[in-house]
Amino acid sequence: MKDLNSLPVNMTLSEKDQLYNWHPYTQHKTTGLLPAIVKGEGALLWDDNGKEYIDAIASWWVNPFGHANPVMAEAIYQQLTTLEHVLFGGFTHNKAVALSEKLLSILPSNQKRIFYSDNGSTAVEVALKAALQYNYNQGRKRAKIIAFEDAFHGDTFGAMASSGITFFTEAFKGSLLEVVRIPVPVPVKETEALQALTALVQTNEFAAFIFEPLVQGAAGMVMYDAAVLDQMIAVCQHHHVFTIADEVMTGFGKTGKTFASDYLQNQPDMLCLSKALTGGTIPMAVTTFTQEIFDGFYDSDVNKALFHGHTFTANPTGCAAALAAIGLLETPEMQHNIARINTQHLAFAQKMKSHPKVKTTRVTGVIFALEIQTETHESYYGSMRMKLYNFFIDKGVILRPVGNIVYILPPYVITTEQLEKVYGIVEQAVEMV
């Protein structure tokens, strides 16, 4: 063990970080020093050397209202000086009640119950456990899950099992839920996906079908149409298979509507929400349920209760942040920003789709994706991805390509000029590869 007293006193933040910290999705043997961010404002971040970055992915899709937002800061401060935390096991508080009321007023109308947890993975975990235990409580053996290929639902075991990006899960095979994957219903694959789902649900072996509605985030912003998802939900509901909309990424305005599920005619049985829920401030998540699912646990037998919980469940500070975030989302200014970004994205997509090095472009709401032509398959963390990532960082733009796919998902407060600068640097990157 290193003697901390013997270390150089003039070490930079990045050097100390390299010495102490273990970062997510990072192979530290091949990763150099990481930029040390010390300040943020709006869509901008600054490191300890004064270098400015445009945060074009809202820091993993969580900061729609920008960094250091004063409305968010004030709501959190007021809550911290009133009631920072109280256990939710055996108690409740005004902010949890207020947030649940607010969420139920904007969610699909079939959602009636709110279960709080800590992050997107646990929101998914709660949904999967509820689907499995509901059937157990009813005396039915339905222990399998249906999911899309190339899905990503999180890093806890149930969420990981439901994800289809294999190198994330390879080490844990044999320790996961049984999940059967079906094709994503992208154009020309709609019928194949629907037929595969129909065949599975007819077996009466499946508790739930989980999906990222309309946009698969970690797969590279893969997009598909609401109409086919409506059909798939209808098939599941006909065969009493629960549908779980993982809106951790798509929720709170990303697709142009409050939730991607708002584009659907058939409402999912459960929704998973996190990320932008608290405007990028306090970690928090919710899983929402129909009354039918809640009633499957409502019994005089304590063993039929949903035994799941977290220390920080329904944290009052997080609830206050979420209420402030939803308030900001509903302002005319923020709705205008979402529409403006979509218009800019569509224009840039139109410009780039005929570029000889661009395979395809796609846009949903504030989400833009561009796929670069390649002669061979590019791995998730392959050489092209790293070349692109380093290029963007060098140019002062935070983007995280997925293989050969570059996506933009900016804070809603990004200015027209800042977004045009991002586009220009993406164009340079396409020319570079």
Residue whose C-alpha is closest to residue 57's, from 317, 405, 319: 405
Consecutive H or E run containing 179:
strand 178-182
DSSP characters over 13-36: HHHHHHHH---TT--TTT--PPP-
Residue whose C-alpha is closest to residue 220's, from 411, 419, 401: 401
Q: Where are the beta strands (DSSP E) in 138-205?
A: 144-148, 178-182
Between vectors from CA 369 to CA 364 and to CA 374, what angle results, nearest 5°? 150
| Averaged pLDDT of the chain | 95
At residue 229, φ and ψ (nearest 5 deg) are -65, -40
> What is d(CA 141, CA 145) in angstroms, rounded to the nearest whole number?
12
Question: pLDDT at residue 53 above 80?
Answer: yes
Half-sphere exposure of 405 (CA within 13 A, CB side): 22
The answer to whether residues 33 and 249 touch, using CB atoms and an 8 Å cutoff, is: no
Question: pLDDT at residue 6 above 70?
Answer: no
Q: How confident is the model over 234-250, as pLDDT tens digits? A: 999 999 999 999 999 99
Can you give the three-state secondary structure of 85-104, one letter per residue?
CCCCCCCCCHHHHHHHHHHH
Consecutive H or E run containing 292:
helix 291-295
Q: Which domains does the chain have, with CATH numbers?
A: 35-68+332-432 (3.90.1150.10), 73-329 (3.40.640.10)
In sign, the C-alpha dihedral spanning 178, 136, 131, 279 is: negative
The answer to whether residues 117 and 126 touch, using CB atoms and an 8 Å cutoff, is: yes
CB atoms within 10 A of CB 351: 13
| pLDDT number for residue 5 | 64
Question: pLDDT at residue 78 above 90?
Answer: yes
Hey, is 378 helix, strand or coil?
coil
Q: Give the confidence band of 361 by pLDDT, cuts at 50, 70, 90.
A: very high
Consecutive H or E run containing 180:
strand 178-182
Q: How confident is the model over 181-237, as pLDDT tens digits? A: 999 999 999 999 999 999 999 999 999 999 999 999 999 999 999 999 999 999 999
Question: pLDDT at residue 16 above 90?
Answer: yes
Q: From residue 207, how far is each of 144, 156, 194, 201, 284 by CA, in Å?
A: 6, 19, 17, 9, 26
Tokens for 35, please give them.
């930029």
Q: How confident is the model over 96-118, as pLDDT tens digits? A: 999 999 999 999 999 999 999 99
| pLDDT number for residue 141 | 93
Q: Give the confidence band of 380 by pLDDT, cuts at 50, 70, 90.
A: low
The answer to whether residues 298 and 318 touch, using CB atoms and an 8 Å cutoff, is: no
Q: Give the confidence band of 167 by pLDDT, cuts at 50, 70, 90.
A: confident
Q: Which residues pair with 182 in a beta bridge?
A: 148
